[in-house]
Amino acid sequence: MLAGAALSLGLGLLISVNAQAHAFLDSAAPRVGSIISNAPKAVVLTFTQAVEPAFCRIEVTNSAGVHEETDAAHTIESDPKKLGVTVGVLTAGPYFVAWHVTSVDTHKTQGKFKFTVSP
């Protein structure tokens, strides 16, 4: 019984360590699903762990599917957890952000969300 408990504890620790070994989206500016009145000049994503910018991509598209990002994904403020792209002049309407990142431990994650610039 004691061996079973030790095994369960060991597996639990292994699973929790493994779950932390991926860079998941922690926050975004503009916020996920937000409606904002002032168009941003950049989209900045913060992840739960450091990412490798050379192997990361952020795409910002409008409702017609036209890309709005004007540069490649790069770290922000020398923080390896923050990744951003500059965008052109965004007019009123919905925008879609798709991201693909590789964390410093080489695990890949991806996701997408929408924000809207109000008129």
What does the pLDDT look like over 40-98, one tens digit per residue?
Answer: 999 999 999 999 999 999 999 999 999 999 999 999 988 999 999 999 999 999 999 99
Task: Say how far apart CA 94 and CA 115 lie, in whole Å.
Answer: 6
State the Cα–Cα distance between residues 35 and 115, nearest whole angstrom. Answer: 6
**All domains in the chain, ordered by first residue:** 22-117 (2.60.40.1220)
Task: Kindly state the average pLDDT of the residues 111-116.
Answer: 98
Q: Which of 21, 81, 28 is nearest to 51 (CA)?
A: 81
Element (H, E) at 12: helix 2-19
